Amino acid sequence: MSSEQGFEKFLKQREKAATAYINGDAGPLGELSTTTNPASFMGPGGGEIHGAREVTERYASDAKAFANGSTGHFEIIHAEASGDLGYWVGFQRATTYFKGRADPVPFNLRITEIFRKENGQWKLIHRHADPLAEVQERK
């Protein structure tokens, strides 16, 4: 398997981890996340988290808000891996259920993720997610 095919396979695994996450299970995402600094997370609610342990703890904490029944997918605009670094840029689209709420909530995010190869395995080292906003007219 070529390095490019290996990264494409990894991105499919990453998307499955995202689906588990929006169903309240941060375990698969934790397995794909680095345990070595540097690491960072800029979430859709704003702010930033630095440090591998802190980022992984935040993912675990945030996933607890989601309930089963959520569905989603990635729309990758472009992705590439070269050497020990890889990335993807695009959209994460989901219909999510939150604990304590009966109605689903649309979740449309702009995403940039950066990965580093550690001991032969791709690991998430940076995630930037922000809400997809409508294009504003320029005046």
CA distance linking residue 86 with residue 116, whole number of Å: 6
Return phi, psi of residue 58, to 5°: -65, -45
| CB-based contact 97:106 (threshold 8 Å) | no
* 3-state secondary structure at position 12: helix
Given a cut of 80, is residue 9 above it in pLDDT?
yes
Residue with tokens 């904490």: 61
0.85 exceeded by pTM: yes
pLDDT band at 3 (very low <50, low <70, confident <90, very high): low
For 23-32, write each residue's pLDDT tens digit. Answer: 999 999 999 9
Domains of the chain: 3-131 (3.10.450.50)
| Mean pLDDT along residues 79-103 | 96
Given a cut of 60, is residue 1 above it in pLDDT?
no
For 41-71, write each residue's pLDDT tens digit. Answer: 999 999 999 999 999 999 999 999 999 999 9
For 36-65, give one letter per residue: b (16+ CB within 10 A) or e.
eeebbbbbbeeeebeebeebbebbbebbee
CA distance linking residue 72 with residue 97, whole number of Å: 11
CA-to-CA separations, 95 to 2, 26, 44, 89, in angstroms, rounded: 34, 17, 15, 20
| Mean pLDDT along residues 13-34 | 98
Burial of 132 (0-12, 13-18, 19+ CB in 10 A): middle
